[in-house]
Structure 1
Amino acid sequence: RSLDRLFARHEALRSVFVAPQGQPRVEVLPADAGLPLVEHDLSGRADAKVALSDLCREEARTPFDLSRGPLIRGRLIRLADEEHVFLLTQHHIVSDGWSMGVLMRELNSLYRAFVAGQDDPLPPLAIQYPDYAAWQRQWLSGERLQTQAQYWRNALSGAPARLALPTDRVRPAQQSFAGASVPIVIDADLTRGLKRLSRQHGTTLFMTVLAAWAAVLSRLSGQDDLVIGVPSANRGRREIEELIGFFVNTLALRLDLSGAPSLAQLLERTRRTALAAQEHQDLPFEQVVEIVKPPRALDHTPLFQVMLAWQNNTVRSLDLPGLRVEAAGEGLSQVKFDLELDLGDDGDQIAGSLHYATALFDEATIERQRGYLLALLRAMVADARQPVGRIELLSSEERTYLLEELNRTDADYPSDLCIHELFEQQVRRTPEAVAVVCDDERLSYGELNARANRLAHHLIALGVKPGDHIATVLDRSVALVVAQLAILKAGGVYVPIDRALPSARQEWLMADCAARL
C-alpha cells in the first residue's frame, strides 16, 4: 500500500516516454495503476542463496520499456517466514540520488501510518515534475539560454578530448561498463584538517577534495589541462526539494594546473571554476555536448572520462515498525566512466568509494591511486604553500620498489667483447631464429649477419677506418639495424640523425661530428 501510494503521489514515477510519428512526448499512467511487484518464494530451498543471487542479477539486467512502463518495479523474495529480500529498481530517467532520499523518507512515514491504521500523513504536493519541466523549458530560453550556452562554449573550447591516464590494459574499441570499487575513508584527523584548510581559503570541502583529485589526475596523466565531471543536484528552488524526478545535471569542470601552481593557488583556481559552473548549471549536459562538439568515439565518453560525485543528501535507512531492515549489499557492478570518485561528509570523516572500469584497471592500481589522493590531501593540510608538482605521492614502499627493486638488473656480462661480436656469437647459436621484425619484413640472425657483413666490406672498401664517424640518416627499419651492425663491424662509430630534422640541421650535425660518410 505504501509503495502504491508513492507511485500515485509522484507523477515522475508514472511517466512513460512515447514517440508517435517520431515526435517524443511524455504520458502519465493512471494514479491507481499500482507499482508492479513480483513475489518469489525461496523458503525451504537448499539452493536459496544461489537462487537469490540469480534473481538479483536478473533484476539488475532486465531492461525497462520506456514507452509502456512503469519505470519503477519491485521484487519481494521470501527466504524464510521471517526473512525477505526486497528489490526496488528505477530507471534513471524518472529518478536521481536526491529522489532516493525523498522516497525513503516518505516510505517510512506512509508505512508507519498504514501499520497504525491511519490515513496518508503526507501533505499534498503543490507541483509535479511535469510542471517543473514545463517551467524549465520556458525559463531557460532567449537571452538566459544564450548566456549559459556562451559560458560553456568559452569554458570548454580547446579542452582535451581525453584524459590520458596510464591503464593496465589497452582501451577496448567499444566502452565496457563493467566496474568494481574500492572503499575510501578520510579519517577524522585529516577531515578536521581539510575543513580548517577550506575555511582558511574560502572553499567548500567539496572544492578542496576536487582540487586534490585534479592534482592526482594531472600527475598520473602528465596533463595540466583536464576536465572532471561533477553531478549537481540542480534543486535550487524550495518547491522542488520534495519531488521525485530526474533533476540532476552534470557539470564539466575544466581544471587548470599550468604554470606550476602552489596548492593555495590551485584551491583558488578550483573555487573560481566551481562557482562559475554552478552559476551556469541550468543548461542540460546533453546540450553542452552539442554546443562544444567534442570528438566522439565509442571507446570513451565525451568531454570527460573521470567523475567526482559529492554526496550531501544522505539517504536514510528504512525505519519500519515491526521490521529489522538492513541493506542487502546487492548493487550494480557498473560504471559509466573510467573512474568515479564518490565521497561525502559523514560527520567526523569523509567516506565513500572509488569506482573503476575493470576493462582498464586492476584493483591494485586503484588502491595505489587511493593512496596518492590521501597523500596529497595530507600534504595540503601540512602546507598549502608548496608547489603541487613537488608533492611526494608515492609511499616509501612503492618508491623503494620502483627505484631499487625494479632496477636490480645486475647480470654477468662479458666485458671484453663488443656488441657486434656478441651478436655474432648468437648467430652461431641460432642462425635460423628471427632476429628483427619491422612491419611485414623479418630477418633471421643468419640473414641479418650476412647483410651486415656485405655492407661492412663495402664500407671498408670505401676507406672507412676504425674510429671513423658514419652518419645514419634512416627511419626505424631493418635497414637501420643492418647499417649500425655493419658500421660496428667495420670499426666505425655510427651517429644516428633523425630524418625528420630540417636539412640544414642534418648537415650541421654531420659536419659537427666530422662524418666520413
Structure 2
Amino acid sequence: EQSQLADWNSTARAYPSGLIHELISQRAAMQPEAIALGFGAQTMSYGELESRANRLAHYLIGLGVGPETPVGIAIERSFELVVGLLAVVKAGGAYVPLDPDYPADRLAYMIEDSGIGLLLSHGAVWPKFQSLCSTRHPEGHQCVAYDLDELDLNSQPDIAPSTRLHPESPAYIIYTSGSTGRPKGAANSHAALANRLHWMQEAYPIGPGDSVLQKTPFSFDVSVWEFFWPLLTGARLAIAEPGAHRDPAALTQLMLNHRVSTLHFVPSMLAEYVNQPELPAFPALKRIVCSGEALSAELQQRVFQRLPGVELDNLYGPTEAAIDVTHWTCRADGGPSVPIGQPIANSQIHILDADLNPLPAGVAGELYIGGLGLARGYHRRPGLTAERFIPDPFGSGRRLYRTGDRAKWRSDGVIEYLGRLDHQIKLRGLRIELGEIEAALLAQTGITEA
C-alpha cells in the first residue's frame, strides 16, 4: 500500500531555470512587435510592455523596493494593472493585491497587516486609496500611495533591472479569509510560481496564436496564472473590462472579439454561463479550466453538451500553495462525481488520519500537500504558519500544509474531493471562514452572541 501511494506521487520534473519575469523579458526580446495585451479595442506589444514595466521597476527600486518588500497594488483591470504587477516582481518585491471592491475597513487592515510602505493605484479608485494611506494607522505604520497616471518615468532606464533575487523570495502575497475574524496573507515564492507555470505549459501547451482571458479578480490566486502564463509563452493576454467577469453577455463578446482559446471559470459561474438560452459557436476556444469549488458531474455533462469539442479541466489547490496542486481532464465516464485528479509536477498529496498515518485507497481522511508549490507561510504570522505548515512526518525534511479538506484516493490513484472538515465554506470560489462572519456580527452594537 505504501509503495502504491508513493507511485501515485511520482511526479518529479526538471524545468528550465530562471525567474518568471526574466523569462518574460526573454520572450519580449524574441517577439517585441507581437501583441502581448488586448483591452477593448486597444493592444500593447511585448516590447512596449517590457519597456513600461522596466521603467516602473527602476522607479520602485529608487523608492527602496527590493527582495522581501511587499508592495500594494490597487488598480482596476487595465494595461496599468499588468504593467504594475510585472514591475513589482521585476523590482524584486512581492505584490499585495488590494481589491478596490473590498470594504474600506478590510483594506485598511490589509494595508497595516501586510506592512506595505507604498501602494500603486490608478484612475477612478485612486482617491479611495490615497485616503486610506493618509489615515494614520496604529503603531505608526505609514504607507504612501502613488498614482500611476502622475508618475514621470521617462528618465528611467527601459532595460530590465538586474535584481538579485533568491527563488524562495516571495512573488506575491494574497489574503484569504481567517477563522479569527481577520484575513491572513499567504506568501508564495518565485520558485513555487515558476514550477506551477512550467507545469501548466507542459500540460496545456499554448503559444503565439493563442489568447488567454484575464477575468478573475486579482485578489484570487487563479489570476496569477492568467496574468503570467500567456506572457511566458508568446500568447496574447485578453483583459476583461472591470465588472465584465460578472456579465455572461460581455464575456461572450470578449471571447469572440479576442478569439479566446483558454479561460477559467469557478463552477458556479460556469453553470450560469452554459445555462444561457443562446450560446454562439466559439471557433477559437480550446479549453475551459475550472477550480475554486467542487465541479459536479451534472455541470460537467452540461458543458459537454453546450460546448462540444472544448476540453474541460478540473484543478484543485488552496491559496497556501502556488495556485493548484492537482489536475484532472474531464471525461464523460458516467461517474457520480468529478475527481480533482492527480498531483501536478513536483507536488505530493498525502491523505492522512488524525495521527498523520497514510490512509489506503477508498478511506477518507484529511488532504495534506507537500512539494515545491507550498507557500512560504502566512505573512508575519509565525504562530499560524507553524500550526498549518507542519514538518513532513515522512522524512523529506520539508513541510506539509494541512488543508482541512476531506478526500480519498481511488484505486486508480485519482483523488476524490469530499468537502471540508471544518466550518469553512466556498462562495463563488472564494474561501470564507464562518468565524470571520461571526466576528463581524459580534462587532455590531446590541449583539452579544453569534
TM-score (norm 1): 0.20
- Higher helix fraction (1 or 2): 1
Rg (Cα) greater in structure: 1
TM-score by length of 2: 0.23
Point out the structure with the larger strand share: 2
